[in-house]
Chains A and B, each alone.
Chain A
Amino acid sequence: MNEAEIKERVAAFLGEHDPSGDRLEFLRARFDAGLAWVWFPEGLGGLAAPRELQQVVERELADTPQINGGKQGIGLGMAAPTILAFGTEEQKRRFLRPLWTGEEIWCQLFSEPGAGSDLATLATRAVRDGDEWVVDGQKVWTSGAHHSRWAILVTRTDPDVPKHRGLTYFVCDMQAPGVEVRPLRQITGEAEFNEVFLTGVRLSDDLRLGEVGDGWRVAQTTLMNERVAIGGAPTRRGGGVMATVLSAWREHPELRTHDLHGRLLSLWVEAEVTRLSGARLREQLAAGQPGPEGSGMKLSFARLNQALTGLDVELRRDLGYDDWAFRRSEDVDFYGRGPGYRYLRAKGNSIEGGTSEILRNIISERVLGLPSEPRVDKDVPWKDLPR
C-alpha cells in the first residue's frame, strides 16, 4: 500500500462516517476501518501497511475526533504492541479495540518496592490453582492505576530458578477483588502514581500473555516499546519544551542575561541535533535498516527536558508555584501547568521507563559490545538471592 492508496482509504472512510457525530462511534469505526494503527494486521485496527503511512492518516484525519494520547499512553505505547506480539487471537480481539478508542484505560504493574532498575528481582507471586492464578504482592509507581480497567502485570511463578527464568506475564483485571490502589503523592504535589496492593487476586489462565516462565521475554517487548514511546516522537525544530522556553525568552527581554543566552543557544543546538537524529532514525526504519540509534533517544530526551525546564525556572526569576493541591491527575499535564511543575515533573524522565544509568548500560553492552560487570546473581535461584 502506498500514500495515494491510503489517502483514498481515508477519503472513503470519511465519506461514510461523519466526524461531527458521536465521538466514540467515530473512533470505533476508524478502528474497524484499519486506520487506528495501519501497520497492525487487518481486523485489529490496521491494514498490514508500512508504518510510516500512519503519518499520512494522522494528517488526513487531523480535524476529526482524536484519541487521548496522554491518558491512553500506557495502553497505546506498551500494552498494545505486547498484546500484538504475544497475545492469542482471542486476546487481541478482546483487548485492542477498546484500548485504542480509550473506552478501557491501561496501566503497567511492573516496578516493586524492591525491584526497580533490577526489575527481574520482582517478588509478586502468582500461584496456579486449576484454571486460575492467585496473585499476591505489591507494585509501585503505577501511573494512572486509579482510572485503569486493565493492567499489564509481571509476576513470579517459579522461585526455584534464576530470577529471569521464573517470571510470567499477565493481563490483570483491575476490578478483580483484592486489587487495591493507593495514591502516591509526588514532588509536584499531585498523585499521578500509585501503589497497587494485590491480595489473593484471582486471574483466569486466559489472561496470561505468553508462556509460563517466559515473562521476562514478554516484558522486554514492553520495555523496548516504552523507550521508543517516551523518546521517539517526531518534533519540529524548536518545538516541545524548547518552544515554551523560547516564547518566555522572546516575551521577556528584560530577563535576558549573557549567561542564559549562551546556555539557551547550546541547548537549542543539542535539541536540534537530537531532533535530526530522530528524523534519521525514522528514515532508517522506513528503509528497513533499523539502526541502534533508538536506544539513545530516551536518554537524550530526559537530559534535554531536565536542562531546559531548569533553565526556564531560572530565566523567569519567579519563586511561585502554580498549585500544590493533592489531586489525582488523569495524565501528565506538562504544558498546561507552570514552569515549576515542569521542572519537578521532568526529574522523573531519567527514572521512569528505565533509568538513564540502565539505558547507558544497554547501549554500552548491546550497541558497543562492552563486557558486563561481574554478576553475582547469575545462576542463583531467585529464592536464594539476598534481599
Chain B
Amino acid sequence: MTLLYSEVEEELRSSVRGLLADRCPPAAVLKRVESEPYDLDLWKTLAGEIGVAGLLIPEELGGAGASASEAAVVLEELGRAVAPVPFFTSAVLATQALLPTRDALLGELAEGRKTAALAVSFTASPYAPGRGSSVTVDGDGRLSGTVTGVAGAEVADVLLVPVGGDLYAVEGASVEVVPSLDLTRPVATVTFEQAQGRRVGGCDLAAVLGFGAGLLASEQLGVAEWCLETTLAYVKERHQFARPVGSFQSIKHRLADLWLDVVRARAAARNAVADASSISVAVAQSWNAGVAVHAAEEALQLHGGIGMTWEHPVHLYLKRAKATELALGTPGDHREALASLVDVPGPS
C-alpha cells in the first residue's frame, strides 16, 4: 500500500490535464453552464482517446482494468477543471453498480458508446442508500416511482435503477432537470411510470455508494487545489496599500493553514483508494468535503469583489464544493459512522 502516485498515474494525469487545458478552460465552462452544461464532445474524447470511461472495467469486459487509484487521479483533474462530463456518475457510480453483474452493457460503457447513470439521489449515502427514492417494481418487472436529485441523468443513455437489492436497466423514463446549486453537475428528478426494466443482477447499493464516496474525495481534492493555486496567484498580483495583498501576514497565515488542510486532504484521498475500508472512506469524506468548501470560500473572500461576480469562475468551484459536501453523505454523516467504526460511542 502506498499513498504516493505511481508513474502510470502521473502519465494519465498529464494527458487528462493537457486535454482539459485545451478544451475546458474555466471560460469555456462558464459560457455553457446556463444553456447546455455538459460537454459531450469533450466526454467523447476523454472516453475514446484517453480511455477514462473504462478504467474500472476489467480488460476481459472491454475496459482498461485499472484500479480506483487511477480513477482517482482522473477525478482530481476533473475537479480542478470543474469539467462538465459524466465521468463520476457514469464511469464510477453506475459502472461500479454494474460490475458484479458482468453485463454486456459494461463493454459499451467502457468504449464511451453509451453513458449510464445510477438512478439514486446524489444526497443518498452508504448509511441511507434509499434517500430520495420511492421506486417500486411490480411482478412484470415494471418500475414506478420517483427519484429526486439524480446527477448525470439527463445525459445518460441508460438508467440503472436499484430496487430492493436488484439492479434494473431502464431506457425511457421521464427526466426533468431542476435548477441546481451545482451548475456543472446539475441534478434531475427521474420519474418512472410503469417503465419496463431489464433486471441485470443484484446490487449492494450501500457498498457502491461507499466506493463512490471514497473516490469523490479525490474530486474534492482537485477542487481545493485549484482554489488554493488560483488564490495564491491572485494575491501575488493584486496590490493594495502599495504592496501585494499576499505580503500581509493575515493573508499569508490563512493560506498557510489552507495549504496544510489540502496537504492532509491529499493523504486522506490517497488513503481512501489504497485502502477502501469504511473507516478510510469516512475519514476522507469527513475531511475533504469540508476542505473543498473552505478552500472555495477562502478563494472567494481573498479575491475580493471580483470573487463575487459571475464572470470569475470561482463561483463554479464554490457551487461544486458545496454540492459535493452534501453528496454521498455529509461530513457529519461520515463522522457519525466513524463513531461506531472506531469505537467512540456517543451518549446513551
Residue ranges of A at the interface with B (Cβ–Cβ < 8 Å): 237-238, 246, 249-250, 253, 256-258, 261-262, 264-266, 268-270, 272-274, 276-277, 279-280, 283-284, 287, 293, 296, 299-300, 357, 359-361, 363-365, 367-374
Contact = CB atoms under 8 A, between A and B. Distances in A.
A266 B263 contact: no
Interface stretch (B15-23, B204-212, B254-262): B254-262
A277 B264 contact: yes
Interface of B: 2-4, 232, 235-236, 243-244, 246-249, 251-253, 255-257, 259-260, 263-268, 270-271, 283, 286-287, 332, 335-336, 338-339, 342-348
A269 B283 contact: yes
30 contacts: A246-B343, A253-B345, A253-B347, A256-B345, A257-B347, A258-B347, A265-B338, A265-B339, A268-B338, A269-B283, A273-B287, A276-B264, A276-B271, A277-B264, A277-B267, A280-B3, A283-B4, A296-B260, A300-B264, A360-B252, A360-B257, A363-B260, A364-B252, A368-B255, A368-B259, A369-B236, A371-B243, A371-B246, A373-B248, A373-B249
Contacts of B347: 253, 256-258, 261
Given A264-B344, A357-B253, A370 B267 contact: no
B236, B335, B343: which has the most chain A beta carbons within 10 Å?
A: B335
Contacts of A369: 232, 236
Nearest to A257: B347
Given A269-B283, A272-B283, A368 B232 contact: yes
A374 B243 CA distance: 9
Contact of B246 (A257, A258, A370): A370
A368 to B, nearest CB: 6
Given A256-B346, A265-B338, A370-B247, A270 B287 contact: yes
A360 B253 contact: yes
B339 A363 contact: no
A253 B344 CA distance: 10
B3, B248, B265: which has the most chain A beta carbons within 10 Å?
A: B3
Contact of A371 (B236, B264, B335, B339): B236
A263 to B, nearest CB: 10
A213 B226 CA distance: 43
Given A283-B2, A370-B244, A374-B243, 10 more contacts: A253-B347, A265-B336, A269-B283, A273-B268, A276-B264, A280-B266, A360-B253, A368-B256, A370-B247, A373-B249
Contacts of B4: 280, 283-284, 287
A250, A266, A284, A374: which has the most chain B beta carbons within 10 Å?
A: A266
Contacts of A279: 3, 267
Contacts of B335: 262, 265-266, 269
A246, A258, A299, A370: which has the most chain B beta carbons within 10 Å?
A: A370
A14 B247 CA distance: 57
A361 B267 contact: no
A299 B260 contact: yes
A280 B264 CA distance: 9
A284 to B, nearest CB: 7
B166 to A, nearest CB: 35
B236, B251, B256: which has the most chain A beta carbons within 10 Å?
A: B256
A368 B225 CA distance: 12
B143 to A, nearest CB: 38
A277 B336 CA distance: 23
Contact of B342 (A238, A253, A283, A372): A238
A247 to B, nearest CB: 11
A280 B5 CA distance: 10
A33 to B, nearest CB: 32
A293 B259 CA distance: 9
A249 B344 contact: yes
Contacts of A272: 268, 283
A273 B253 contact: no
A99 to B, nearest CB: 33
A280 B267 contact: yes
B256 A274 contact: no
A347 B91 CA distance: 49
Contacts of B235: 370
B2, B235, B243, B252: which has the most chain A beta carbons within 10 Å?
A: B252
A361 B268 contact: no
A281 to B, nearest CB: 8
B338 A269 contact: yes
A363 B256 CA distance: 6
A277 B263 contact: yes
B248 A300 contact: no
Nearest to A261: B346
B185 to A, nearest CB: 25
A264 B256 CA distance: 24
Contact of A273 (B232, B244, B247, B265): B265
A253, A293, A371: which has the most chain B beta carbons within 10 Å?
A: A371
